[in-house]
Amino acid sequence: MPSTRTTSTTTTQQQPFLRLRLDGSDGYFGDWQDDLIKNGYAVIKGAIPKERAAKYVDEMHEWLESFEMGYKRGDPSTVNIDSMPLISEKGMCMNYAVPHEDFVWQIRSEPGVIKAFEQVYGTEDLLVSFDAVNVTFPNRTDLPENKPWPHQDQDPEKAGFRVLQGLVNLLPNGDNDGGLMVCKGGHLLSEEYHKEMKKRGETRIPAWTPEWYGFPKEGLEWLKERGCEWVKVNANAGDLIVWDSRAPHYNVSPTGDQPRFATYTCYMPVADATQEDLIKKKDAFERRVGTTHWPNAKHTGWNEAKRNGEHHGPKRDRPRKEPVLNERAYKLTGIPYIQENAQAAA
Ligand SMILES: O=C(O)CCC(=O)C(=O)O
Ligand SMILES: [Fe+2]
């Protein structure tokens, strides 16, 4: 259980700044927010100190080793599917209660990370996603190829800026080290794009949730014709990368000699979630399951990691190290914002 609790109820704090609209009308800030406004993504340099990024890298290795399946840091012969917990070819792992490992909670509690989202949303009353970690080793031949999967993590029927996604980059990440690919400026064309594709009667790529849309070839061509280019976002250890959920994006795997380690950290205003969402989120917290990128817990995950119908590796439905949350982090679970009557009715 978290070490600190707070009993306060929702109070929307008066902030000297407003929520960004990300529609081209936000004005000028003189910092990374200008990049976000214009390009749909931004890098916040040094959001966490380098030493702490290095500590989290250590903890990621420790976590991988803790399954005792064979993985040993620094030994490439142990980088294979049988020696590690189940991690997709895209580098993602959301099972084994990893979204609630103490080090993962520490990353999402980093003041420099939270601050960026407070600036964008203009409020301190935020929820954080119980999100996946990314562990991608270079040149894996034991996994399917990580083919481009351009998508947006937002329902195309719901226009406008809704959620800012984020990832904390833990290892230096250059051109050959894998990472996030974003279609620059695509967020500003989102509404027009979806109207046009609907008009054309597009065939939708199957999605497991309405809050996901895969860009078909025709759509990618449409974006290209409008001058949108795809860029690989490079970052240093400790940098935070943020992007508008409407921005077309995917990730690529490393082809150099070092892995990609990152954790996904998405935040949204408490005011955008219902009491029902918060109750669902509390349940996800208590069961130590993930929520995907959406901090309002629209979808919750599971801790079983199935490979060919069988559980892969030791079962874990609690984190190896239970999270110890400070007061700020505990608020980000949304639990203190649950009103008594809503809890009683649930
Ligand atoms: O791994 C990445 O850089 C992006 C993955 C992704 O699509 C996401 O987090 O929404
Ligand atoms: Fe995504």
Q: pLDDT per residue over 122-176, tens digit each?
A: 999 999 999 999 999 999 999 999 999 999 999 999 999 999 999 999 999 999 9
pLDDT of 295 over the 70 cut: yes
In this prediction, residue 16 has a pLDDT band, given cuts at 50, 70 and 90, of low
- Residue 79: give the domain boundaries: 32-345
Task: Return the ligand number nearest the Cα of 261.
Answer: 1
> How does pLDDT run across 68-106, given as a tens digit for each residue?
999 999 999 999 999 999 999 999 999 999 999 999 999
- Say if residue 22's pLDDT is above 80: yes
The answer, yes or no, to whether any atom of ligand 1 lies below 6 A from the CB of 293, is yes
Closest residue by Cα to atom 8, ligand 1, is 250
Nearest CA to ligand 1 atom 1: 251
Mean pLDDT of the chain: 94
CA separation, residue 344 to residues 155, 279, 338 (Å): 31, 11, 10
Pocket residue to mutate for ligand 1, from 177, 215, 250, 263, most atoms within 8 A of Cβ: 250
Number of domains in the chain: 1
Residue nearest to atom 6 of ligand 1 (CA): 250
CA end-to-end span of the chain: 22
Give the model's pLDDT for residue 37: 98
pLDDT at 17 over 90: no
**What is the distance in A from the centroid of ligand 2 to the CA of 250?**
6
Q: For residue 15, is it within any domain? A: no
Residue 332, domain member (yes or no): yes
- How wide is the angle at C-alpha 126 spanned by C-alphas 160 and 11, nearest 5°? 110
**Which of the ligands is closest to the CA of residue 88?**
1
- pLDDT tens profile 45-77: 999 999 999 999 999 999 999 999 999 999 999
- State yes or no: pLDDT of 2 exceeds 60: no
Are the C-beta atoms of 103 and 32 separated by less than 8 Å?
no
pLDDT at position 341: 86
pLDDT, one tens digit per residue, over 181-195 is 999 999 999 999 999
Q: Is the CB of 180 under 6 A from ligand 1?
A: yes
Look at residue 5 and tell me if it is in a domain.
no
CA of 244 to the centre of ligand 1 (A): 12
- Find the 319 Cα to ligand 1 centroid distance in Å: 23
Residue of 93, 149, 151, 165 to mutate, ligand 1, most atoms within 8 A of C-beta: 165
pLDDT grade for 29, boundaries at 50, 70 and 90:
very high
Is 18 among the domain residues? no
* Predicted local distance difference test score (pLDDT) of residue 44: 98
In angstroms, what is the span from residue 286 Cα to ligand 1's centroid? 25
Higher pLDDT, 7 or 311: 311
Assign 342 a pLDDT band (cuts: 50, 70, 90). confident
Ligand 1 centroid to 293 CA: how many Å? 9
Q: Which ligand has the shortest distance to the CA of 213?
A: 2
CATH number, domain at 302? 2.60.120.620
User: What is the pLDDT at residue 47?
Assistant: 98
Q: Is residue 238 part of a domain?
A: yes
Does a structural domain hold residue 19?
A: no
Q: Specify the ligand 1 atom closest to the Cα of 241.
A: 3
Ligand 1 centroid – CA 342 distance (Å):
34
Give the helix ranges, DSSP H, for 200-326.
Answer: 217-225, 275-287
Strands annotated E in the chain: 41-44, 92-93, 126-128, 133-136, 151-152, 164-169, 177-183, 213-214, 230-232, 240-244, 249-254, 260-264, 267-269, 306-307, 310-311
